[in-house]
Amino acid sequence: MMIRVEYPDGTQQLVRPYVLNQLIASKAIARFERSGGWVVLDATVCVRRAAGRSLFNEKNHPTPA
């Protein structure tokens, strides 16, 4: 499964779930797309990540072999 992300400069890219988690942790993206729409990264997201919760759980969305 690939996830669309958008960088602060407006460019978009498809990435794998583990890359999304790395991009969120490094604050390298402005937003990413989920089935319900775009998730904009802000202070709320940073708090959730600090609490140890991942926004994208690979257990629920396994990568096909």
Query: Angle CA(19)–CA(53)–CA(1) in degrees, nearest 5?
Result: 35
| Domains identified in the chain, total number | 1
pLDDT tens across 5-45, in order? Answer: 999 999 999 999 999 999 998 999 999 999 888 999 875 55
Range of the domain at 26: 15-50
Residue 27 lies in a domain: yes
Phi, psi of 3 (to 5 degrees): -120, 130
Residue 22 lies in a domain: yes
Residue 6 lies in a domain: no
| Whether this model's pTM surpasses 0.75 | no
